[in-house]
Structure 1
Amino acid sequence: MSKLMNNVPPRVQAATVRATYALPKALRRLLVGAPIRIDGQELALDAQLLLVLEKLAGYKLADGTPVQARERLAASKALVSGPPIEPVAVRGLTIENDIPARFYTPDGLGEDVPLLVYYHGGGWVVGSLDSHDNLCRFLAIEAGVKVLSVDYRLAPEHRFPAAADDALTAFHWAVKNAAELGIDPDRIAVGGDSAGGNLAAVTAHQAVQAGGPKPVFQLLFYPAVDASVRRRSRELFAEGFFLTSDDMDWFSDHYCPDLAERSDPRFSVLLAEDLTNMPPAYVATAGFDPLRDEGEAYAEKLKESGVATIARRHPDLIHGYATFIGVGTRFKEATYEAAATLKTALALT
């Protein structure tokens, strides 16, 4: 089936996916079979259908070489992210002469406004400005912010801590260039999904430790925050729910092959000795995600450290849902909640 799908033009594949999601609910349920229930949770029909389509297409997140994995992710973007969300002005930028970035300004948004510095997911190995373009458009419009999407260096060409270094550099660059960007330097948030959520949290922690300007908020979608242990959710959802346990090993082995370095707070920020004075946070996790428990452990540690934190589990969703906003309705609902939370938090700052 995967070889057959490779011969189908992306536009046709995307149209087929949209048509499948447009079927009556009863037909979609018939296609996917009985509901999946694990750990007291029932998987959303939208998520179950996406997993069935993924299996039919033979798609694997982490397989082969990093270049092959990047190409697969790029090809799949049109299937799940949807057509470009408008109206948003988009332009390319270069941070500190060598880090590519993309700057989003929603139509009608003026000057001296909040900024979200966003780090894309992809296990520090795959992902790009393009793979997360529509998510950044969505967040810009729905949260009423400008967005700076950062194309940090990827592994294995650039191993740990290259991505973390680029992430922190991008935040400091945004602060220094606030006037040029038309943003308020005192209302800069950081955000990201998965590995990008890791980089956002690491950036916030590094900025706090340095004692200089720090982000005012952390917007974290299913972040990877501790590579030192295997928690219960990793065993429960090791296979069959988009991100697998083997995928996680593949990503970590490329990004940080030295096991001793995986306890470094610049990688496993949950292990940082001190999380006091961290920015307020919205930490969203998905019920059917091997990363679920570590994300929730991070939210709990922030709370214990006196940090205002919203811990939100979407019990019916899978890893990656924020990038699936072009199909069905459930993924977009969950992502809208995050955008609305960011908007409110920045309005109160």
Structure 2
Amino acid sequence: MSQATSRTLTRLRKIERAIVLAIPHTAFRLLGQKAPVNVNGDRLVPEAAVMLRFMNRLPGSDFSDKPVEQARVQAEEEAIVYADTFEPFVIEEDLHIPSPAGPIPATRYRAHAGAPRGLIVYFHGGGWVLGSRAYIDSAVRFLAVHTGADVLSVDYRLAPEHPFPAAIDDGLAAWDFAVAHASSWGIDPDRIVVAGDSAGGNISAALSQLLRGHAHPPRMQALLFPVLDLSTEHPSYEEFADGYYLTRKKMRWFKGHYLTKPDDALDHRASPLLGEDLAGLPPAYIAVAGFDPLHDEAIAYAARLEEAGVPVTLHRATGLIHAYIYVTAVSPGARASTLHAAAAIVAALDAP
């Protein structure tokens, strides 16, 4: 069993999890009857409406009001509260990826015995400031179970200790490591998908641009509610400025810790939407939540990729909020959309 991803909840968090898991979905539907509707006419799923109502009234729920270390602990605990649980895997291997800046911790997962379908190199969310292998553990296990692929979960360096472009540099080192070791893991190095959520989706999109022309480029880029443009705030920042977990305030907090100067936001490694030439990139799967400040930039990136001739699957998780892959234990909608992502990865890995 992976030691790096093993975490226990505090007594209060255990009580919170027990209460949330005990609520029947019929109760969620009843309590969430007056859930908000966005400008597109989509209604927030009831379980998200109920959870947000609780979280938004909880004192101290906004981690961006706290020191970074406290915010990291809080985000990790919240992720575990709403996460799925799994039996031990066939392989849970803690690794260290060599890089010029020092070793990068990572964990490789294999859910099933036998040859894996391929490999997913995964980068967690958390605004480049929060998150870890423990934080994303449930979601990557979910993908491993439902894709039959191995998952390499990468603990890239975090800001503000390691600002832009440290996370991108670590991502490149992780990709080269995965390609170099794939054969020894029983995996074709041409059957590797790069994937990530939120800031991890940003890293995955940036890597897809940087790896163009690589001997073994990604089979697909799977971008789950990604950050794609730090140079401006798109209209969805205003519509979902507050109250939907990821807020405009939190995004500004992340950006302030990650970027060291304003011009960094214009770099395509920080804002993949600003890449001048998107032709020849790997096929993309882009999942966008209907109630998310990042909604509009994901739609814009999908359009730009299509204009450049890149095959794109745009999944609109219309009733969900940002970070929905972390709440699959309590949200049928989140579970269905995460299964949709898994199916897209299977199709990419199985393609000739």
| TM-score higher than 0.5 | yes
SS at match of 1:285: strand
Residue pair 2:89, 2:109 contacting (<8 A) in 1 also: no
* 1:100 match: 105
Question: Offset of 1:19 from its aligned partner?
Answer: 1.3
Question: Offset of 1:211 from its aligned partner?
Answer: 4.2
1:79 to 61, 81, 93: 81
**C-alpha distance in 2, partners of 1:130/1:232?**
33
- Which digits, 9 at most, give the CA deviation of each residue in 1:166-218, with x for residues without a partner? 0111011111112222211011110000000000111111011x544311101
SS at match of 1:149: strand
Q: What is the 5 A alignment of 1:54-133? A: 54-58=55-59, 59-84=61-86, 87-96=89-98, 98-110=103-115, 113-133=117-137
* 2:31 match: 31
Matched letter for residue 57 of structure 1 = L
Question: Offset of 1:29 from its aligned partner?
Answer: 4.1
Matched letter for residue 115 of structure 1 = L
**C-alpha distance in 1, partners of 2:54/2:86?**
22
**C-alpha distance in 2, partners of 1:173/1:63?**
37
- Which digits, 9 at most, give the CA deviation of each residue in 1:319-343, with x for residues without a partner? 0001111213111111001001110
Q: What is the aligned-residue RMSD (CA, Å)? A: 1.7
**C-alpha distance in 1, partners of 2:327/2:111?**
21
Matched letter for residue 164 of structure 2 = F
* 1:245 match: 248
Question: Offset of 1:32 from its aligned partner?
Answer: 4.3
SS at match of 1:191: strand
* 2:3 match: none
* 2:173 match: 169
SS at match of 1:131: helix
Which deviates the most, 60-69 or 181-190? 60-69
Question: Offset of 1:28 from its aligned partner?
Answer: 2.8
Any stretches of 5+ residues in structure 1 without a counterpart?
A: 1-5
SS at match of 1:239: coil
* 1:41 match: 42
1:153 to 151, 157, 165: 157
* 2:299 match: 296
1:278 to 281, 286, 307: 281
Number of corresponding residues: 339
1:325 aligns with 2:345: no
Question: Offset of 1:224 from its aligned partner?
Answer: 0.4
> Could you say if the C-alpha distance between residues 325 and 85 of structure 1 is closer, same or farther in structure 2, counting changes exceeding 3 Å?
farther
* 1:180 match: 184
* 1:143 match: 147
SS at match of 1:147: strand
* 2:51 match: 50
Question: Offset of 1:62 from its aligned partner?
Answer: 2.6
SS at match of 1:241: coil
**C-alpha distance in 2, partners of 1:165/1:141?**
29
Question: Offset of 1:52 from its aligned partner?
Answer: 1.7
- Which digits, 9 at most, give the CA deviation of each residue in 1:271-321, with x for residues without a partner? 011111100011000010000010111111111111111011111110000
SS at match of 1:275: coil
SS at match of 2:330: coil
**C-alpha distance in 1, partners of 2:190/2:82?**
35
- When the two structures are superposed, what TM-score results if normalisation uses the length of structure 2? 0.92
Residue pair 2:96, 2:105 contacting (<8 A) in 1 also: yes
1:305 aligns with 2:297: no
Matched letter for residue 54 of structure 1 = M
- When the two structures are superposed, what TM-score results if normalisation uses the length of structure 1? 0.93
Residue pair 2:38, 2:290 contacting (<8 A) in 1 also: no
**C-alpha distance in 1, partners of 2:52/2:64?**
15
SS at match of 1:41: coil
1:344 to 331, 344, 347: 347
> Could you say if the C-alpha distance between residues 289 and 88 of structure 1 is closer, same or farther in structure 2, counting changes exceeding 3 Å?
farther
**C-alpha distance in 2, partners of 1:78/1:184?**
33
> Could you say if the C-alpha distance between residues 115 and 52 of structure 1 is closer, same or farther in structure 2, counting changes exceeding 3 Å?
same
SS at match of 1:34: coil
Matched letter for residue 347 of structure 2 = T
Matched letter for residue 45 of structure 1 = P
Question: Offset of 1:84 from its aligned partner?
Answer: 3.1
> Could you say if the C-alpha distance between residues 320 and 85 of structure 1 is closer, same or farther in structure 2, counting changes exceeding 3 Å?
farther
Matched letter for residue 231 of structure 2 = S
